[in-house]
Structure 1
Amino acid sequence: MMNMQSELLDAITWAASRGWAPATGGNFSARTAQGYLITASGKDKTRLQEEDLLLCDPYGLVIDGMGLPSAESELHAALYRLDARIGCVLHTHSVASTVLSRRHPNGIEFTGFEMQKALQGNKTHAATVLLPVVPNAQDMTELAASVTAGWPMPWGFLVAGHGLYALGDDIASCRRHLEAIEFLLACVLEEERWQA
């Protein structure tokens, strides 16, 4: 069985290989008994090692590891404090998530896509699923307040002009949500191109 560090690194490398973490972008974390593991700032996500993961307490202070946590570590900490069911946060910067989050500031609805069933609790393509969009802010307290105001967001949310925060109760479910949402976003972006 894979340990948490290896499983998280595998998910990060997988996401980066799809072009979802360009230019050292994105940040990735998993809940631990002490707080959470998170990627160190400024690291190429296609080449991370275990020493590039930092252990932080529930308020974002580094307990173990070298380097600085991601600039958005405070948002990860706020999410873990907000909902005890969150076990993993995978934040990416795909083209589809960035463009669509600017075009749909009130959220993106998915209806009729079979892939919606990959989102926990959704059992049919016939349902309408809303992926929320929150306004971007460099101040993580302000950004966390926007997320809290729109809670619950069971699979994740978009930050306008920024990217996707996928959520899951463990690394595997978060990775599934990330892949499903990125697929759905790519479908919506393609449909919008056809309609233009």
Structure 2
Amino acid sequence: MTSQDELLAAISWAAQQGWTPATGGNFSARMPQGYLVTASGRDKTRIQADDLLLCDLEGQVLEGNGKPSAESDLHAALYRLDPTIGCILHTHTVASTVLSRRFPEGIKLNGFEMQKALQGNHTHDATVHLPVVPNSQDMNELADHVRTGWPMPWGFLVAGHGIYAVGETIAACRRHLEAIEFLLACVLEESRWSK
């Protein structure tokens, strides 16, 4: 399976979970020339190869039709920031959006078995911190917020916006996204019965 096929499969999977409402979210994978990224406004439930653009690490389109979303510049900034990032998957879910507003200083997780799906974690007894950065429509400002808190080995939440999962490979990034979304759903559910 090529990187393009693997990225398309990951996007389709995320869309099937209901994590890309109203054409939301953007997805990318590092390539030798830069990165592949979803074009703006594309329906992720019907994603195809021609919905992907090849961009250089400055965010300029090298190949493909359409334009990248404004958030493509954040993908470019992340790839420049950390050469170990091979994939970025950005989704909009209720849990990530609500909890990022409720816990603007970050979300602490402890005691969840699923924490072990996050690279470098080997026990549910560890405390895992999911960072939350302030939202901005200015991608340079948003990238500055991310740089200030780096490293963020599994990704981060953007307040009132969603999650940016990262990984060294597409498979690792997809695992991080799925694990974080599960953990956030648990925290959201717990908050309902703690009242």
TM-score range, shorter chain: over 0.9
Distance 2:60 2:131 in 1: 28
CA distance in 2, matches of 1:61, 1:43: 19
Q: SS at 2:44's partner residue?
A: coil
What aligned pairs does 1:46-85 form with structure 2 within 5 A after superposition?
Answer: 46-85=45-84
Gaps of 5+ in 2: none
Q: Which residue of structure 1 aligns with residue 11 of structure 2?
A: 12
Report the Cα distance in structure 1 between the residues aligned to 2:138 and 2:69, rounded to whole angstroms. Answer: 13
- Aligned-residue offset at 1:97: 0.2
Render the CA deviation track for 1:131-150: whole Å, top value 9, x for unaligned.
00000000000000000000
In structure 2, the residue matched to 1:174 is 173
Give per-residue Cα distances to partners, 1:98-151, cap 9 Å, x unaligned.
Answer: 000000000001100000000000000000000000000000000000000000
Instruction: State yes or no: 1:29 paired with 2:28.
Output: yes
Aligned-residue Cα RMSD (Å) equals: 0.4
Secondary structure of the residue aligned to 2:27 is strand
Tell me the distance in 2 between the aligned counterparts of 1:21 and 1:186: 16
The aligned residue for residue 192 of structure 1 is: 191
For 1:147 and 1:187, how far apart are their aligned partners in 2?
25
In structure 2, what residue type is equivalent to 1:19?
A: G
> How far 1:29 moved relative to its partner?
0.1
What TM-score comes out, normalization by structure 2 length? 0.99
Shift of residue 71, structure 1, vs aligned partner: 1.7
Residues in 2 aligned to 1:80 and 1:149: alpha-carbon distance in whole angstroms: 15
